[in-house]
Every structure is written in C-alpha cells, then in structure tokens.
Structure 1
C-alpha cells in the first residue's frame, strides 16, 4: 500500500467540476486581480468565522506582515512568540527589524506556555504572537489577560488552524488580529499561495486593506508604506468552492484523529493532546517517538509517508544566531523537535489506511 499524505489530488477530483468551472469563469472575465471572487470569499470567511472583517492576502506569511504593519511595529520593538513553529512567525518579526523574544512551549499542547510569558515582558514589548500549532489554539484567556494588563496587542498565527475553536469561538475571531494560510496542504487550501487576516476593529481593517495594495487610499495615492499583498482571483475562486465543503472536511478530520487515537492507545509513543473547550483543525496528526529516524525509514519502506514539524526550533536556526540563544535555552521545544513525527492526515484517510499505518508502526 502507498498512502498519500495529504490527498490533494483526491480532493480536487471530488470537486473538480465546480473548481474547473470557477477557474474558467475567472479566465473568461480575465479579472485576475481583485475580481469579484475576492469579495465573495471575504464575505464567506466573515460568515464562517464570525469575525467582522476578513481580508484576503497573498500568503500566510504576508498575513503576519500585514498584521504587524497595521499595528505599527517598529525596529527594536519586541514581540513575544514561540520557538517551536514554522519560521515565518519569527521571520516576519525580524523582517520588520523588530526582535523575536521566545518563550518555551507547553509539553502537552506544544503551544506557547502562558505561564512563562510575563517574565519576558520589557518596556520594548509591543505584542504577543501565539501560534495555534497543529490546528489547536493556545490558552487565549490567560494570554489576553496578560496582554491587557501590560497594554500589549495579540496577533494569532492561525496558519494551521482555520476552523478550530476556543470556547466556542473560531481562532480567526480572537486577539486584535488573527491570521491564516491557505497554502495547498493546509486544512483549507487553495492551489498556490494565499492567506487572510481577520479583525473586529474597523480602523485596523481599513489600514490592512490599504497596506495590501501598497498603502493606497485611492488609486495612485499612498497613505502608508505598504506591500503587494493581494490574493489572486483564481485562488479565491478555488476557495469559494472548497469552503462550501469545509465543515464536512473538518468533521472528517476529527474522525480520522479519533480513529488514530483509539488505534494507537497504549503504544510506545506520546499522542496529541487537545485541551477541553478547544477543538483542533488537525492540520497535522503528530506523535512523539524516541527513535524517530528509524521509525520514519521503516514506515517509508511500507509506503507510509511521514513528516517532521519541526526538526529544529527557531532559536537554533542559523539566521537567528544574532539573538544570542543557545542549545538548552528552551528545553521542551528542543526535546519535542527531536521526537515529533507527523503521520498522514487528511479528511479522506480510509479505515484500511489507518489500520495499515498503525500496524506498521
């Protein structure tokens, strides 16, 4: 058996007729930039998330940039975040010449540990960026309370978690600004790069709409230094089809995660943990094993693909040497990075594939 990690082609075939028609409609109109499909998608995203404003953009990375630019993050400002995530979270902070300040993770959820945030706050701290890792929101009540106490802004990096919930609210409707990614392998993915920012603040929303089109207030009149951060109309057209089926896909992901958990219970590994009052979008199903490299090789021999999200914490990456962190500074992140392994996860995994994977492990 050869298992497909994400089954993107399978999903395309499911919705092929609708997707092809949606793409052809854009081609027929040749309205490739900011076409009507963009407005349609943003309306659907607002309805789905409950956020007052949903603003599409060119990627999840650019969504983070838009959020920080809207909050006027300046060089030498400090932003507290996690070292255990994809580099884009910290990379965008550094891109704006601000300073990423890391806090270790909770060993069960792998999200930022709120109990360690306050000790890292200085007079230069301007914001906190929790990451909803693997699809599960962080402990937002505690994080918001800390932010409120110190006058800080909160940006949610929800690149992996679109459709997850925290105490009944989607994580796109938390914080001052929430961001997400529609990279093809995300739970809701387009056919290229794409992202969105969400906010309930009218002023921030208008600023981000301007920033994504080079800071324009009207055509060729520029209020801000901005960026070319628009989503392509074709990507919006694809997402307009896929979002109609997203609730069903999320439910199927939950079922796959439950079947994995039941089948793997009692095995010699640490399974994913989801807090009560929280739902995960299950971007990944990640387990921890002691002999990861050996297990990955054996699984590959059995036709089972795996991935490591992530093999090296951000604070140990070469590009961040200038921050002065060293091995041992964030021991939980470092331990998890040596043990974590993602199994095939998508809404369409069959019982047979799950049983085969578990038996092979």
Structure 2
C-alpha cells in the first residue's frame, strides 16, 4: 500500500542496484499485457545486474520476488491500475498506483520515486473529518475510496460526549490548581447564540486534540465534512496545518461514504491544481525576490536543507551526477558514470521528505522551461 511510511522506507535506501519498475495499467480485458511488460523488464533488470558484476544465478535470485508475481495469473487478469515494483538487497515493495505511468526500468543508487511523489501530492493519502453534532468520524482516503480510521479512544463520539470530556478536563485542572490556559475555557454568561458558539468551540477543540493524536506526522490534507457554521470554527480552533480551504458542506450524518469520497477527491485535486497554477504564475515574482531558482546546483543543496517550498520537475528528465550532503557540492556528469545518480530524482526526494509541494509537469509547463527543474524557496531562507 502506498502511504507516507512506505515512501519514507523506500526513500531511505541508498545502495547500489536499486531496481525500480513501473508497469502501465490496462483495461481488464488487456490485463495480461501488464504482466508481459513486467516479465520483459525483469529480464532487462537481470541483464543490467549481470553487467554490473552479478552472476546470472545471483541476479535471478535478487529479482526472485518480482518473478514470483508473474505466477499470480488472477492478479494480472483483474489488474487495471498501474503497478510499481521496488527491489533492493533487503527490500521488496509491489504497489498499485492510481495514476497512469509509462513503462520504465531504472537501476540506480536509489529508487526512482518521482511518480510516487506525484501521486501522493495530487491525490494520494488524505483524510475526511466528518464533524456532526450527533456523530464524529475520521476517514482515510485515496483516489479509490475512504475507509474509517479506528478512533474510539481519541475522538469523542459526538458533541455531547465532547462537552462532557471538556467539563471533566476543566474540573480535574481546577482540582489540581492548573492554569486556566491549559485548555480553552469559555466562561461568563452563556446564553442563546453565544452559548451555542462556545459549545461549538469546545467541541472542535476536543475533536482536534484527537485528530492531532491520530495523525501525528501524517502530513496529509484533511477535508472537513460539516455544516457551514461549524467549518470555520474548526479551522480557527485547529492547530493542524493542512486543512483544505473548501469543505464538504452539509450534515455529515446524511452523507454516504461514496458521496464524501467523491466530493473530497474533487476538493483535493482542485486544491492541488490551483496551487500549481498560482505558483507558476507567481514564479517570476519569487525570482525577482531571490526566492526562486532553475539551477540544480542551487536547488539540490537547499532541498537537502529543507529550504524548498515548491518544486517543479519535468517528467521523464534526468540529470546524472553526484551530491555531497556534507559539503553541499553538486557535480553534473555529461553521461552516466559509475558513481552517478539521478539528481532530479534525488532533489525531489529530499524536497518531498522535508515538506515541499511537488509538481511533476511537462517540460513546457515549467515556469522556466529551459531547465528540467524549478524551485520556489521558503521565505526567510534567502541565501
């Protein structure tokens, strides 16, 4: 399953003979074509491993798990999505992808992860928080579906339960002599509209504490499914940094999972697309403020330091070379050498792991299309 934990695991691998294979998806009646692509690429990977010094026997053993997949006939007959395989000395991952990919085989010092980054950025993992007065639910979603996240211990069941939890917390704090600032306390005459507003704030606070505990470092966007009255209160109350600006409007108890998924997916994709367009249009302004670059010599070291806010990468482009994290030195090679690795892929991995937004686009869509990589830096990190 493609999620951030899997991505992080793959991104940490840095060793010779990392095999990355991307297999395009086909309609079910042509599903066996994906199997044929995989078989060919596994054989090509074996040839490359042999050329690097492995024996034929060792190369076949190295790719054993990949060859085993070829025997799962039912899988290939039903498969319509694209497929990705990652094979290393002590790692094997086989992932179904939601976006279409071109057939690709890369044997390198690191796994080729750009297509995964693009998928996760556009509509990979996200969450839907259904916030109603009579129920509270959290769902994990992707391009295919949303599924409930077990949260009985972290989330209040409903608004009444949250208010009871809040009252108990305040009573404990008062008994312990705790400061009044530990949780939001809304004192004073609570009547009518003001009373209801304060209840909503207390409800949202208790829910947000649970959401924060569940998601921790998930770094995935959250779409709210709630009423137009509660949505702005939750956004104001929450400390979570990646709440979608548009919410699913309505009473969540009256929405089906399918309805919430369809609307959330549209919100996430529109948000990602609009964000890309805004960044492209504003690139020249960032450049004028020395907050942008189109040089891998500048971008790669700053991606490593976590200074890249947004990265644009031309699909299918590579730049071979080496990078020293210690010195920050980038060296480009005219052609692939024994110690080369793909610096475009490496830059994207560093940027993504450190929280940058990544956009995989056609070369002519880049703000500066004369190079395969453009970046906007975080403000306050000017060199």
TM, length-normalised to structure 1: 0.22
Higher relative contact order (CA 8 A, sep 6+): 1
More strand by share: 2
